[in-house]
């Protein structure tokens, strides 16, 4: 596996880095990382301990003091160089993402491309961290607001986008003048180590202080908790399940820290009688089975008008029966493995539970074994007729399960079903009826952070702010003005008169 050599992944790797230096603790045990593609051990990672965590944080704190003095466009230049390094290592890093996480090679490479794109976006943004100038109510006074860096930003990421989510956070945080400490998922730490190895050269070439970009890998309830409780980390960005996000959000808020929460979704696509099925069907199938249903934006529910329900069901069933399941490194396959056998168990449990509630399996749902499936992580994507109110349908199962739900009435009835879940990440309508589409996008339409017309729920461009409402957490990352979450806002009033007028005309004579 040449990509492991190219990325300097060893048989045994260390779990903490201050930037260019690895801390060499070996007494906390290891994560043995097996590929879900073939079940083979890729490498081990020594867990870091609490003292390593402290060293990394101290180094990030000192780096921040220097880094914030570097003009933002020069910080942007460092991010530009990181983007170029990622271009150089796109192929091996994409291969490792695919092999460690189990997504297709195309998607692995796409994920690295997303990192490159966010670097480019951040470079431009480094010249646009603008506040606004405001009119004062007092004569010869000036008011404006401006944005300052926060300090050390903690990034806790999920396994399914093992590197892109870090870059969305770290590159924007960096041009804003912050230092970043990354705690990746314990399921995919090798890609994080690879990223650290890739950017190391940029840090050394530019003689940057240790600690601007650093890494801690360890048990979530040790190192993760340390980060949530740490007053030295004013902002923690958490991508993961709603269960973990709820806990993390409360912990960080208890110490008056800020958090960005990017949590679970339960994404639906509405098909009205006017839907163009040529567009809708591939969008549904890719949305539901791509990345084996392990995207936060994966399509989980399709809400179909009764007049086209049977037709859609027949076309989808045919498409599902033609799916090729196997190694994601083979471009001929549509569906790769789940991340681990626990996820396979969650998949089978959900199917059993929804059947007990009245759901009807239309196709798929088996766990695959035998040649090519030795890891035990491959399943047949399943399509199930269900009702929106079922407990199982209300819950995000991170696997390729698609629920078909029939609606009667007009688009408002479909929107009501779509919104009737606790999550609020991604949503889509397929319709050529302008009134239906605009209703869906209106403030009484979709209640999600992402609402698309004639585009599926799965995936997003980095230029937009990414995130969702309700139990998806409310955070926004990546493009648009998401950078503001990585800075503190300050309002300034300057008096250049010879008087001292008080606000609201208050008189105070001495
Ligand atoms: P997870 O919640 O199991 O873990 C996410 C991260 O939280 C991991 O790094 C984990 O180590 C860490 N963590 C767990 N317990 C912790 C604790 N007590 N303190 C600190 N950190 C802790 O999620 P996962 O299985 O890795 O990822 C799948 C989930 O992530 C899905 O629910 C998916 O929808 C969600 N997700 C959301 C987005 C989004 O942008 N909304 C993006 C990707 C994934």
Which stretch of DSSP H or E encloses residue 374? Answer: none
What is the number of the ligand 1 atom nearest to the C-alpha of 297? 34
Task: Name the token pair of 269.
Answer: 């696509």
For residue 361 the two structure tokens come to 């399996």
Conformation bin of residue 31: beta by default, left when phi > 0, alpha when psi is -120 to 50: beta
State the distance from the centre of ligand 1 to the C-alpha of 125, rounded, in angstroms. 28
Which phi and psi angles does 34 have, rounded to 5°?
-105, 145
pLDDT tens digits, 426-472 = 999 999 999 999 999 999 999 999 999 999 999 899 999 999 999 99
> Candidates 244, 261, 474: which one to mutate for ligand 1, based on the most atoms within 8 Å of Cβ?
244
295 with 103: CB under 8 angstroms? no
Residue 459's pLDDT is 85
What's the pLDDT score for residue 499?
Answer: 95
Alpha helices for 7-67 (secondary structure H)? 50-67
From CA 214, how far away is CA 429, in angstroms rounded?
41
Ligand 1 atom 35 nearest Cα: 240
Q: Sheet containing 133-134: give its strands across.
A: 133-134, 141-149, 487-495
| CA 84 to ligand 1 centroid distance, Å | 29
What is the position in ligand 1's atom list of the atom closest to the CA of 187? 26
Q: What percent of the chain has pLDDT over 70?
A: 100
What would the pLDDT profile of 46-99 be if each residue is shown by its tens digit?
Answer: 999 999 999 999 999 999 999 999 999 999 999 999 999 999 999 999 999 999
Closest residue (by CA) to atom 26 of ligand 1?
158
Q: How far apart are the C-alpha atoms of 414 and 71, rounded to whole Å?
A: 50
The kind and range of the H/E element at 434 are helix 434-441
Determine whether the shortest distance from the Cβ of 296 to ligand 1 is under 6 A.
yes
DSSP letter for 378, please.
-
Q: Per DSSP, what are the bridge partners of residue 29?
A: none
Residue 240 Cα to ligand 1 middle (Å): 2
pLDDT tens digit string along 131-181? Answer: 999 999 999 999 999 999 999 999 999 999 999 999 999 999 999 999 999
What is the CA(96)–ligand 1 centre distance, in A? 20
> Which among 215, 241, 245, 299 is the best mutation to test ligand 1's pocket, defined by most ligand atoms within 8 Å of the CB?
241
Q: How far away, in angstroms, is 261 Cα from ligand 1 center?
A: 10
Ligand 1 touching residue 52 (CB < 6 A): no
Residue 247 CA: nearest ligand 1 atom is 18
Task: Please tell me the pTM assigned to this model.
Answer: 0.98
Angstrom distances, CA of residue 366 to CA of 286, 320, 351, 440: 19, 13, 10, 36
Three-state SS for 186? Answer: coil
- Using CA atoms, how far residue 114 sits from 54, 195, 242, 306, 329, in Å, is 31, 14, 24, 38, 19
Instruction: Quote the pLDDT of residue 31.
Output: 98
The residue whose CB lies within 8 Å of the most ligand 1 atoms, and thus the one to mutate among 222, 240, 469, is 240
What is the whole-number distance in angstroms between the Cα of residue 115 and the centre of ligand 1? 19
What pLDDT is recorded for position 177? 98
* Tens of pLDDT, residues 12-34: 999 999 999 999 999 999 999 99
The arithmetic mean of pLDDT across residues 186-201, rounded, is 98
Minimal-distance CA residue to ligand 1 atom 1? 240
450 sits in which H/E element: strand 450-453
pLDDT tier at 111, thresholds 50, 70, 90? very high
CA-based max dimension of the chain:
90
What are the Cα distances from residue 463, in Å, to 177, 475, 477?
20, 16, 10
Angle between helices 72-88 and 189-205 (to 10 degrees): 120
Residue 302 CB contacts under 8 Å (≥ 6 apart), including other chains: 268, 269, 271, 284, 312, 316, 402, 403, 404, 405
Through-space distance between the first and last CA atoms of the chain, rounded to whole angstroms: 80
Question: 33, 158, 257, 399: which to mutate for ligand 1, most atoms within 8 A of CB?
Answer: 158
> To the nearest whole number, what is the mean pLDDT of the chain?
97
For residue 264 and ligand 1, the question of a CB distance below 6 A is answered with yes
Q: Is 474 in the pocket of ligand 1 (CB under 6 A)?
A: no
Q: So which residues are the catalytic ones?
A: 262
- Ligand 1: which residue has its CA nearest to atom 18? 221
Distance 455 CA to ligand 1 centre (A): 26
**Tens-digit pLDDT profile for residues 383-408:** 999 999 999 999 999 999 999 999 99
Contact assessment for residue 384 and residue 354, using Cβ atoms and an 8 Å cutoff: yes
- Expressed in angstroms and rounded, the spacing between residue 160 Cα and the centre of ligand 1 is 9
Q: pLDDT tens across 170-193, in order?
A: 999 999 999 999 999 999 999 999
Minimal-distance CA residue to ligand 1 atom 42:
296
Strands 477-478 and 465-466: antiparallel
Kind and range of the H or E run holding 77: helix 72-88
pLDDT at 1: 81
């Amino acid at each position: 596996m040449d990509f492991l050599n190219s990325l300097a992944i060893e048989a045994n790797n260390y779990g903490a880095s201050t930037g260019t230096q690895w801390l060499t603790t070996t007494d906390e045990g290891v994560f043995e990382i097996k590929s879900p593609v073939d079940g083979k051990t890729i490498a081990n990672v020594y867990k870091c301990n609490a003292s390593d965590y402290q060293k990394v944080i101290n180094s990030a704190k000192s780096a921040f003091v220097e880094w914030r003095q570097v003009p933002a466009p020069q910080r942007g230049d460092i991010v530009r160089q990181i983007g170029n390094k990622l271009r150089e290592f796109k192929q091996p890093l994409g291969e490792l993402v695919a092999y460690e996480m189990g997504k297709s090679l195309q998607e692995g490479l796409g994920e690295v491309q997303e990192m490159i794109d966010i670097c480019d976006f951040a470079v431009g943004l480094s010249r646009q961290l603008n506040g606004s100038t405001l009119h004062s109510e007092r004569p010869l006074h000036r008011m404006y607001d401006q944005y300052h860096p926060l300090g050390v930003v903690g990034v806790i990421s999920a396994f399914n986008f093992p590197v892109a989510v870090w870059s969305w956070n770290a590159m924007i945080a960096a041009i804003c003048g912050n230092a970043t400490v990354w705690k990746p998922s314990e399921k995919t730490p090798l890609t994080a180590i690879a990223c650290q190895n890739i950017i190391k050269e940029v840090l050394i070439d530019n003689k940057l202080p240790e600690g601007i970009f650093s890494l801690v890998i360890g048990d979530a309830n040790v190192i993760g908790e340390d980060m949530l409780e740490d007053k030295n980390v004013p902002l923690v960005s958490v991508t993961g399940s709603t269960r973990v996000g709820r806990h993390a959000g409360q912990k960080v808020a208890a110490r008056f820290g800020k958090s960005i929460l990017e949590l679970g979704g339960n994404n639906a696509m509405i098909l009205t009688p006017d839907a163009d099925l040529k567009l809708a069907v591939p969008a549904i199938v890719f949305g539901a089975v791509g990345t084996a249903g392990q995207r936060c934006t994966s399509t989980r529910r399709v809400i179909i008008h009764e007049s086209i329900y049977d037709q859609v069901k027949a076309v989808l069933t045919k498409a599902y029966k033609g799916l090729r399941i196997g190694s994601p490194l083979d471009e001929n396959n549509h569906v790769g493995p789940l991340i681990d056998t626990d996820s396979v168990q969650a998949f089978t449990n959900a199917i059993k539970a929804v059947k007990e509630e009245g759901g009807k399996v239309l196709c798929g749902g088996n766990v695959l074994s035998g040649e090519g499936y030795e890891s035990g992580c491959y399943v047949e994507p399943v399509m199930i007729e269900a009702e929106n109110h079922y407990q199982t349908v209300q819950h995000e199962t991170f696997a390729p399960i698609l629920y078909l739900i029939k609606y009667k009435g007009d688009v408002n009835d479909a929107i009501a079903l779509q919104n009737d879940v606790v999550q609020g990440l991604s949503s889509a309508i397929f319709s050529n009826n302008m009134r239906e589409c605009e209703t869906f996008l209106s403030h009484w339409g979709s209640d999600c952070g992402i609402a698309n017309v004639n585009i599926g729920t799965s995936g997003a461009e980095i230029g937009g702010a990414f995130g969702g409402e309700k139990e998806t957490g409310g955070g926004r990352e990546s493009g648009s003005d998401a950078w503001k979450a990585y800075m503190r806002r300050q309002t300034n009033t300057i008096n250049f008169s010879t008087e001292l007028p008080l606000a609201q005309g208050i008189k105070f004579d001495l």
